[in-house]
Each structure stands twice: as C-alpha cells, then as structure tokens.
Structure 1
Amino acid sequence: MEPFRLTATEALRLIASGRLDARTLMESCLERIAARETQTRALVDFDPAPALEAAQRAGPGRLHGIPFGVKDVLDTADLPAQYASGIWQGHRPRADAAAVAWARSEGAVMLGKTVTTEFAVRKPGPTTNPHNPAHTPGGSSSGSAAAVADFYFPVAIGTQTAGSTIRPAAYCGIVGYKPTFGLIPRAGMKLMSESLDTIGVMARSVADCALFAGAMARRDLGDPERKTERLPRVGIYLSPAWDGAQPETVALVERLRDTLAGHGVPPVPFELPAEFDALYTSYHTTVQFRESAMSLGWELAYRREDISADLRGLLDQGLATGEAALNAAYAGQARCREAFDACLGELDFILTPSAPGQAPKGLADTGSSTFNRLWTSLHVPCVTVPAGTGPDGLPLGIQLVARRGQDAQLLAWARWLQHIMA
C-alpha cells in the first residue's frame, strides 16, 4: 500500500516499528497532491520544501510524523491565513492557532491550508468532490473534507457553526467529528459565532478522529478500536428536517433499522419536545447571524464593500435582529441544552441523517445544514460515518449524537456501528 493511503493510526504503528519514516510518508502525500490537486483543488496554500524539512525533524508524541491539513480560518505562523476573503489576502499571523500549536507539539506536521467558504459562511471556493468533480464537497470545511477523502493527508482540522464539519465529511465519504462545544481550543481561529463555533476533525477512520482531536485538546478520548463491552441502546431521530430528506436518505435509515435489529439492537423511535423544533427553525440562525455580524465588526465598518453581497445581506439581517427575538433565541437554546440529557433517557446515542442526501451537483452551493444545526446549538458531540452510496454512486453518511461530554463513548459507538455496517 502506498503510504499516502494509510490512516494516521496505521502510519503511527509503522513508524513506531521502524518500517516507515515521517519523511517517506510526507513525500508520498506530496506526490498524491501533485497528482490530484488540479482536479480536487482542496488547498489554498502549501509549501513542499518546509513540509519535508518539518517531517524530517518531527518530534515524538501522539502524532509523530503525521501530516495534517488546516482549514483556512485558523491562524498559522508559517503560511498565510486569509479566511477566504480578499480583505485578508496575504495576511501572515505571528503565531499558530492553539489547536495547530498543540497538534505540532505532539509531533504532527502541517502540510497545508485548506479551502473554506468566505469567513466559513458563504461564497464557496473551487474545491470539487473527489468522488465526482461535478458535485460539491460540502462546506464550509470543503478543502479539509476533500483533501482527506482524496488521500492528501490522513487528518485535517475543520470547523462547524451549523453543519460545516459533519456535512462535508458525509458528502466526501469520510469520518467527521464535531466534539462537545469547547473541547478543542478556539484561540487563533477567525471566530464567527461566539456561542456556536466548534473546531472539529476529519479523517478516514473513527480512531484517527479520536487520536487527532485528543492530541489537540490534550484529552484522552479513548481507543475506539477497543471492543465494546455491551450492545448499545439506540434511538432513531428523523428531526424536524425530515421532509427534506432525499429518497436515498430515507432508504438508508430503513436499512440501518434492519441492520441494527439483525445485530440484536432494535432501535427505538426517538422524539424531542416541541420547543427543540425552534432550534432548527429560528433560534440557531438568529444567534448565528447576529454573532457573525458582531464578529465581523471591523470588516463591516472599514471594508464593507469587500464582503460578498450574499454574506453582507446575512450580516445586515443579523444586526437588525430585535432585542426580544435575540433574547428569546438565547433563552430557548439554554433551555434545550439543559433538557437534552434527560430527553435521551437510557439511550447511549441517537442516529439521525448527516445530510439530506448525497452531495448535490454543482459547486455554487455547498448543500443544506438542516440536519446539523440543531446539534450544533445543543453543544453535543456528533460523528458522521460512511454509510453506503446514493443514486449517483456518491457517499452517504449517518450521524451519531450523544450527550455533552460523552465524546469518548460516542467515538467508541461510532466505531462499533462502522463495524456492523461493513
């Protein structure tokens, strides 16, 4: 197997045994990028020579010698951070974002900055879906998802304000993990929503997600490859967005019901109280666009015309939000967060779609976050795992959701689900 096809955990085993070295792994990844980047267009910036030198010097740690990509809304000291905005073209931060710094401290080697939408909100970049370049890779973590799926590097950093980690991972057929809010430090990120933005990770295995996120968070997220001691208690939640589910997603949920039942885990229908619907219909977007407008205060004040018209309209909408509506949204989110654990009862996790269906055709739109923003509002951990293909042979994903703080348990169950679906 070519080294670029290895997962991070596979590569680490080979490096530890002396059968692979970090420079050879990096050379293989760079060869893959050279062969694929003209089509996939996942990278904003990368520099092969320093990456090779860094691989040669890679220190010991949990991520010794592992190449990784960084979504271009996180600062990096040795490559520009431009946030997909002409306003910040050529911007060179002095320091790495905390997540990047901690990954490097564990021996990881940053290979490049990945494409995002403008400020991780609107105006998609040029990235294509590696499974079919006529289709979107999703967004806003489009470059991170496409690069991991196309074997540029085994792991990458993404972010999520609504569905920007889970959805592109599902569209590109990889694993995406949005941790409990705040698990991975956000210092040095171009923050758009104070109460929603969450740094997440993308990989080709659940174990890699646990490893990479754990290193950046300086936490132990367990070993998802360890055999679980009992069968889980699973609920299936169709969500308020179910009317928008495409036929392939409807069929996927039915297949999962049968698969789980066949493994002795008949899933139970799960519902949330009526107020949770408002997270989907109003609370989330009210908070998101108000906070995004406030975060882009300097850009709106001094470079307003350099913000795309679509994004500018959303920011103006956020600024126009009335006090009563804003307070109601914050209060509603708080009530739902407080109530969610009890709603799960004895369930270990719930299954719900990762996206409406397969990746839509065209690059002008990154798809809908309707199956994601409820969970982002709740600050709960989510994992999407590959779950078959749609009518055009494009990947589908299924999303697992658990209580806040139960990240290690959720990752273990995600690995279990992947195993029974294989």
Structure 2
Amino acid sequence: MTIITELGLRELARQVAQRTLTAEAVARAFIERIEAQEASLHAWQYFNADQVLEQARRIDAANVAMGALAGVPVGVKDVMDTADMPSTYGSPIYAGHRPVFDAAVVAKARALGGVMMGKTVTTEFATFKPGPTVNPRSPSASQPHTPGGSSSGSAAAVASGMVPIAFATQTAASIVRPAAFCGVVGYKPTFGTLPTVGVKPLSPSLDTIGALGRCVDDVAFFVGALADREFAIDATYAPRVGICRTPHWDVATEASRAVLAEAARLLEAGGAVVADARLPDVCDGLADAQAGIMSYEAAAAFSPEWQTRPDGLSAPFRTVLNTGAALGGVRFAQLQDAAEQGRREVTRLFDQFDVLIAPSAAGEAPAGLDSTGDPLFGRMWTLLGNPCVHVPVGVGPGGLPVGVTLIGPRWRDDVVLAAAERLERAARARGA
C-alpha cells in the first residue's frame, strides 16, 4: 500500500501526472499531517484546507499534460508574495496584506503543477525577531527549542512531515541554519539561480531563494524544475573534498567538530579524496563584511517603513537599520570590494577541491524561542554566492540534529548536490 506522505518528490509528481494518484488525495494526506501538528508547532502563518483542496481539484480536472511538479505540496515562506493568500513578511505592519501577483518562483511552481499549501512562518522581514514556531525535534514539549531562522516555519513543516518541500530564503544563514537545527536538508543554490521578483527584499546583493526538503534528491528536483535545469546526480562520483574549519572554528562546539570529522570519514570511506583546506586570509573578515553589506542594503530597502511606521519595527530590526545607515557608501563599496576579492581567491581553492565541507552552525539548536541562533557559519558562504547544501549527519549531546554544509564552485550546483547525496547515503547507512 502506497503511503503518500513517504513518496519522494519525483515519484509523487510522476504518479499524479500519470493519474495513478490524484492531486486531491496527496493534498488530503498532507492536510491531515498539518491539522494533527500545527497546534503545537505553529509552523504556518496562513493555512486554509479548503483553499488547498480547491487548487488540487483544479489540477486533477485539467485536461492537459501535467508539469514537473504535478500535485507536489509546497510550503511558501511568508516573505514571498502570493495573490491568493496574505503576505505579511513576519511584520505587524503588513497584517492582512494581499499582493496583486505571486512572486515569480511561486508562479512558476504553480505553472508546473505544484500545490501551495500555505504561508510558513518567517522571522520579521527574514531577520532576527522570531515567530512562534517550535522545533519538531525538541526532546521535550516542556522545553521547546528554536527551529532556527529566518525560514523557521518552512524547516519545521518539512521536519514534521507537514509538507515534503518548502521554499526558503537566505541572506545570512536562513536556509542552512534551520536545516541544521531541524535535521532536514537545506539547499542554497548559487546566487541568482532563482529570481527574487516578488520576494520582500532585505539585501538584494545577498538574498537567495532555495529550498528545505527531506532529502537531497527532493531539493535538487524542486529547484532544478524551477530553474529549468536537470541536476544530474552521479552516484559513482568520488569528489575531492576539502575540510574547511572556517575562521570561526573556536566557536564550534565539540558536537559540531565531531560531526565534521565524521562526515569527512564517511566521504573518505566511500572513495572520496579528503584533505584539509586552508582558506585564503581575506576570508577572515568576510562574515563581518556580509553583516555590514546586509545592514546597509536593508537600511535602503526598508526606508519607507522606517520613515512611516517605525513603531511597527522591532528593536533588533531598528538596530540593523541604524547600523546600516551609519555605515556610509564608501565603506559599503570597500566591503563589496572585499567580497569580490574573496570570490576570486576562493574560486582558486576549487582548483584543488571539488567541494568543501564546513560546520553548518555552532552546534545544536539552542533552547527557547527568544532567538533563532547565531548565523555566523553561514554568512561568508552567502556573501561569496557559492551553492551550499546542509546534510544531517548525527546528533549532539542534547539529542538534537547536527550536520555539515557542503560548498561547491559557483554555477556547479550539480557537483555539490552529488557530493551531498553521497554523504547522505553514507550517513543513513550508518544510522544517522
């Protein structure tokens, strides 16, 4: 008997396209999962079961060939515009806001047959002020842990089985960190792979759309469909892997360090050539450069809200905007120049290695919901624009997930996805 909620994305879409499954049956299976868990997890900013079923029935009734995402249930992060659902961007300023058009990637997902299940909770404007979402991996309901941010609801929805795939965005670490904390796969493509039109901008030179999913193949299939690419994952591919401890190794916990070593061991046991990778000296300052660029561009992007509704902005976000406004254009240009230098020098590192592996976060998800955790380990990779895939590898002393980020050369997402799937298979075979 087919258990709909356990099907991979490719198989699910294939069965709906061939009409051995209906989009409505798929939608009902995931609606049941949402209704059973939402009261405790708070992953959804907006969810309407009747609206979901109406979408699914339209797909089933269409007398046309179905698209690549036929019947696939998709969570939509609430920084993305949707014409048929409110888009609040995690802010009371935009309560009830209804855009005229879908974001470009949402429109594309619908055109390919995807079913938009609702809007997942985001932190305020995809920055620091958390929403109410609880990490589904928290060992005890009495002591909730953060799911990470800013793609909090998307990560929790995937980790709990409410949806098989969800949109996420990353400006600092908002795909990788929630993937790490919730024990799911997070894929941040090469910067510019997917269009950000219709996504509330935070920092246009950094904002990147990606996905959170249950496995590497699901995120590769989903993003590939949206980008009109087929990411061919070669199961026999044995990459040259560089162990990258990053400039922030002193912040990594023992759990994070142990998982990085275990990931290297698993890859090497599977035939990869593994060696230490030394980052160029310019990388030492790139996390700070990312933070400066993000705050400067945010101050410009949110000038209307800052001038007209400052009372609606949280204190942490006002701090970001004030910091950016004080930076100045000369310093901004210097930071962008440092980023360009970093891209040139890190590109040379990929002459020696096919992929790098690095910590995804300092360690396990912190307890409590007042913070979504430190984005430190993701900042540099987002600034550089390289494709990143988080893969769960183990658990920490608190019983929560810990994993690693695999980083590939820009525009060679197929390479990093292949290495990530190789690590994922090895970790599952070992019992991660």
TM surpasses 0.5:
yes
Match among 247, 264, 270 for residue 240 of structure 1? 247
Instruction: Describe the superposition over 1:328-363 as per-residue Cα deviations: whole angstroms up to 9, x where unpaired.
Output: 101101111122211222311000011111111111
Instruction: Describe the superposition over 1:6-31 as per-residue Cα deviations: whole angstroms up to 9, x where unpaired.
Output: 33223224334544221111001111
Q: Is the 8 A contact 1:380 1:402 kept in 2?
A: yes
Mapped partners of 1:191, 1:143: distance in 2: 19
Unaligned runs of 5+ in 2: none
The residue matched to 1:372 in structure 2 has which SS?
A: helix
Alpha-carbon deviation of 1:260? 2.8
How does the TM-score come out when normalised to structure 1? 0.96
- Which residue of the partner structure matches residue 364 of structure 2? 358
- Which residue of the partner structure matches residue 311 of structure 1? 317
Match among 276, 279, 283 for residue 276 of structure 1? 283
- Which residue of the partner structure matches residue 371 of structure 1? 377
Alpha-carbon deviation of 1:266? 4.2
- Which residue of the partner structure matches residue 226 of structure 2? 216
Q: Is the 8 A contact 1:102 1:215 kept in 2?
A: no
Mapped partners of 1:50, 1:209: distance in 2: 25
Mapped partners of 1:5, 1:359: distance in 2: 26
Mapped partners of 2:21, 2:401: distance in 1: 31
- Which residue of the partner structure matches residue 254 of structure 1? 261
Q: Does 1:45 align with 2:46?
A: yes
- Which residue of the partner structure matches residue 148 of structure 2? 138
For residue 186 of structure 1, what is the amino acid of its counterpart? Answer: T
Match among 107, 117, 125 for residue 111 of structure 1? 117
Match among 205, 211, 228 for residue 201 of structure 1? 211
For residue 166 of structure 1, what is the amino acid of its counterpart? Answer: V
Identity %: 44
Q: Does 1:181 align with 2:182?
A: no
Alpha-carbon deviation of 1:126? 0.3
Mapped partners of 1:241, 1:39: distance in 2: 35
Mapped partners of 1:413, 1:261: distance in 2: 11
Match among 73, 88, 101 for residue 95 of structure 1? 101
Alpha-carbon deviation of 1:409? 2.0
Mapped partners of 2:200, 2:175: distance in 1: 16
The residue matched to 1:223 in structure 2 has which SS?
A: coil
For residue 44 of structure 1, what is the amino acid of its counterpart? Answer: Q
Mapped partners of 1:249, 1:10: distance in 2: 34
Instruction: Describe the superposition over 1:103-158 as per-residue Cα deviations: whole angstroms up to 9, x where unpaired.
Output: 11100010100000000002100000011151110000000010011111111100
Q: Is the 8 A contact 2:238 2:273 kept in 1?
A: no
Alignment of 1:73-84 (within 5 A): 73-84=79-90
For residue 298 of structure 1, what is the amino acid of its counterpart? Answer: P
The residue matched to 1:129 in structure 2 has which SS?
A: coil
Mapped partners of 2:115, 2:327: distance in 1: 43
Mapped partners of 1:48, 1:20: distance in 2: 19
How does the TM-score come out when normalised to structure 2? 0.94
For residue 374 of structure 2, what is the amino acid of its counterpart? Answer: S
Instruction: Describe the superposition over 1:68-104 as per-residue Cα deviations: whole angstroms up to 9, x where unpaired.
Output: 0110000000000000111111100011000000011
Alpha-carbon deviation of 1:215? 2.0
Q: Does 1:383 align with 2:389?
A: yes
Mapped partners of 1:252, 1:8: distance in 2: 28
- Which residue of the partner structure matches residue 238 of structure 2? 231
The residue matched to 1:320 in structure 2 has which SS?
A: helix
- Which residue of the partner structure matches residue 173 of structure 2? 163
- Which residue of the partner structure matches residue 190 of structure 1? 200
Alpha-carbon deviation of 1:325? 2.2
Deviates more, 1:17-26 or 1:63-72: 17-26
Instruction: Describe the superposition over 1:378-401 as per-residue Cα deviations: whole angstroms up to 9, x where unpaired.
Output: 011000011111112211121100
Q: Is the 8 A contact 1:62 1:211 kept in 2?
A: no
Alignment of 1:261-300 (within 5 A): 261-280=268-287, 282-300=288-306
Mapped partners of 1:90, 1:263: distance in 2: 51
The residue matched to 1:75 in structure 2 has which SS?
A: coil
- Which residue of the partner structure matches residue 26 of structure 1? 27
Q: Does 1:405 align with 2:411?
A: yes
Q: Is the 8 A contact 2:147 2:365 kept in 1?
A: yes
Mapped partners of 1:309, 1:355: distance in 2: 25
Alpha-carbon deviation of 1:310? 1.5
Mapped partners of 1:265, 1:402: distance in 2: 15
Deviates more, 1:335-344 or 1:181-190: 335-344
For residue 269 of structure 2, what is the amino acid of its counterpart? Answer: G
Alpha-carbon deviation of 1:416? 1.3
For residue 198 of structure 2, what is the amino acid of its counterpart? Answer: G
Mapped partners of 1:323, 1:249: distance in 2: 37
Q: Is the 8 A contact 1:74 1:190 kept in 2?
A: yes
Instruction: Tell me which stretches of 4 or more aligned residues in structure 1 moved more than 4 Å.
Output: none
For residue 33 of structure 1, what is the amino acid of its counterpart? Answer: I
Q: Is the 8 A contact 1:257 1:266 kept in 2?
A: no
Q: Is the 8 A contact 2:358 2:405 kept in 1?
A: yes
The residue matched to 1:276 in structure 2 has which SS?
A: helix
Mapped partners of 2:268, 2:389: distance in 1: 21
Mapped partners of 1:254, 1:386: distance in 2: 13
Q: Is the 8 A contact 1:354 1:398 kept in 2?
A: yes
Unaligned runs of 5+ in 1: none
Q: Is the 8 A contact 1:42 1:114 kept in 2?
A: yes
Mapped partners of 2:270, 2:163: distance in 1: 34
For residue 277 of structure 2, what is the amino acid of its counterpart? Answer: F
For residue 246 of structure 1, what is the amino acid of its counterpart? Answer: T
